A and B are shown apart, each in its own frame.
Chain A
Amino acid sequence: MKILICISKTPDTTAKIGFADNNTKFATDGVQWIINPYDEWYALVRAIELKEADPSTTIHLINVGGADSEPIIRKALALGGDEAIRINSESSDSFFVASQIAQVAKEGNYDLIFTGKETIDYNGSSIGGMIAEILDLPFISHAIKLDIDSSNALIAREIEGGEETDKINLPLVVSCQKGMAEQRIPNMKGIMGARTKPLKVIEPSSTEEYTSIVSFDLPPAKAGVKLVSPENPEELVRLLNEEAKSI
């Protein structure tokens, strides 16, 4: 079985969010970069588990990003990817990114294409569905469990107001979230091995961009907390009712 994992580079979850160049760019000074948690903890680790169960499985990683994505790609290789492809582009347009990935995916004949549920910086939750539509494949979003039974995937997923289990013929695209697997830490052997695993860099094909980011801004700061005495919690109820008008 061949699995393609889409990995994206995001700021660490504790990174301070600020903007530069007249609020048109994310301020990257001092920011630590990580693999988007959904891509790493859930998509990649579940693929590694499938490979452990069936060693004939191969795991390819794909990233659309600049050279500064390479540390996170190496980390994903250290965790257990077999080889990686980086498409050399900084585009933030979801359709552009999805088109680039779909082209590689088409040539690679993958049985499964995994994405994370969303990136924690752009929060698009769009790329998986777009790849599936470009390739005319089924898309299972918000998967929380996935098993393979010969040529079928058995998937539990979140739907509006509940859960559903599905059986779908491979190939397909799946977006992964909590439940799929547990976070792992790369071991020494993996880290050493990752250095020599293939990481191919290709140039993007020309594709239209549908959207562009004009500017960013931050939400207004909170006025500050109004403390109520623990001796008189009933006062909180009065404030919520009369002042905040929220109950």
Chain B
Amino acid sequence: MSVLVFIDQAEGIIKKSSFEVASYAAQTAKILNTTAEAIVLGKVQGTLSSLGNFGISKVHTIEDANLNHFDAQVYAKVIADATEKSGAQVVVFSNNTTGKAIAPRLSVRLKAGLVSGAVALPDTSNNFVVKKSVFSGKAFAHVSIKTAIKIIALNPNAFNIVKEDGAAEIIPFSTTVPNSRIEVTATNKITGDVPLGEADIVVSGGRGLKGPENWNLVTDLAQALGAATACSRPVSDIHWRPHHEHVGQTGLAIAPNLYIAIGISGAIQHLAGVNRSKTIVVINKDPEAPFFKAADYGIVGDAFEVVPRITDAIKKLKGIS
């Protein structure tokens, strides 16, 4: 028995969402009186033993040329083998694009119930119940998993990392790795920027900014804060900003620590993607803008006057000149 967590890595670098799931797996293992183990697929460069600092006791690694490119079908097969080998009773993923592709396949392979979009540790006082986000962040459901093996996909930014002291033991693992049926013809990584789904702070702009030429208001503030940038749907529809920045009901759903909305009215479909943010700041010249009802802090004012002064004040606070 154990809790197994899939550690997503890109070019040997472990992502923040992976530390969250590692920590979540370790805390789940404590509830179940067992240990947490991790599985890492493909070539890794970093020092995986540091996963011990998040409560992981063993790391199963497997290198194979067929694993260097992500294919959910191949990954699910290998993770299923590892689950069986380690006797894991709970398998944890991040509910990011990678997790969303693998976890459902693994669920079928292992005949294991899946709860995706989890936001809290499982409640084992009465069966095994996991709280998940539903209705695009507008509500929660408590879902009971009835199968022997349980799979949980944890929403990014929903669980606080718990640091511990420890070093994980690295255990190479081998199994047959099938060939992928997908031929990858091109990849285009968005590098340099903070990935929106994982960002701690997000600065977002709406149609109130009037045009793409004014986006320096948003990007300057984001840069001063070390934040990612986002936008409302019309802004990406009219190509002021790239599609991957669109947040909301039909875009990305995010839950940063701090969300700053500039010139966004706060339509219900926009709120659906950002309402899980811890602190919401709204800057809008219309005091009746619906966004103020969902905000923690607000300024009723002209973004063109207010935002540069906020950016300057932040630079001053952080000692950036």
Contact = CB atoms under 8 A, between A and B. Distances in A.
Interface stretch (A50-58, A69-77, A162-170): A162-170
A165 B182 CA distance: 10
A194 to B, nearest CB: 25
B31 interface: no
Interface in B267-313: 268-269, 272, 275-276, 278-279, 281-282, 292-302, 305-307, 309-310, 313
B65 interface: no
Contacts of B292: 225, 227
Interface in B190-207: 190-191, 195, 201
B133 to A, nearest CB: 6
A123 B117 contact: yes
Contacts of A162: 187-190
Given A126-B107, A222-B296, A214 B188 contact: no
Contacts of B10: 160-161
Contacts, number: 259
Interface stretch (A78-86, A105-113, A132-140, A198-206): A132-140
Contacts of B307: 233
A212 B144 contact: yes
B247 to A, nearest CB: 12
B149 to A, nearest CB: 10
Interface residues of A, number: 77
Contacts of B138: 17, 218-219
B279 A233 contact: no
A179 B105 CA distance: 25
Contacts of B139: 17, 19, 216-219
A125 interface: yes
Interface in A201-247: 208-219, 222-223, 225-230, 233-234, 236-237, 239-241, 244, 246-247
B294 A13 contact: no
A62 interface: no
B42 to A, nearest CB: 13
A140 B142 contact: no
17 contacts: A19-B139, A128-B104, A129-B100, A129-B104, A130-B105, A132-B73, A160-B97, A162-B190, A166-B182, A167-B183, A214-B142, A222-B295, A226-B297, A233-B310, A236-B299, A247-B201, A247-B314
Given A125-B95, A169-B181, A239-B297, 12 more contacts: A141-B72, A160-B98, A161-B189, A162-B190, A166-B185, A178-B246, A210-B114, A213-B141, A215-B142, A230-B300, A236-B281, A240-B258
Q: Which 10 A-B pairs have the closest CB atoms?
A: A230-B301, A129-B104, A210-B113, A133-B108, A162-B189, A133-B105, A237-B313, A246-B258, A126-B104, A234-B313
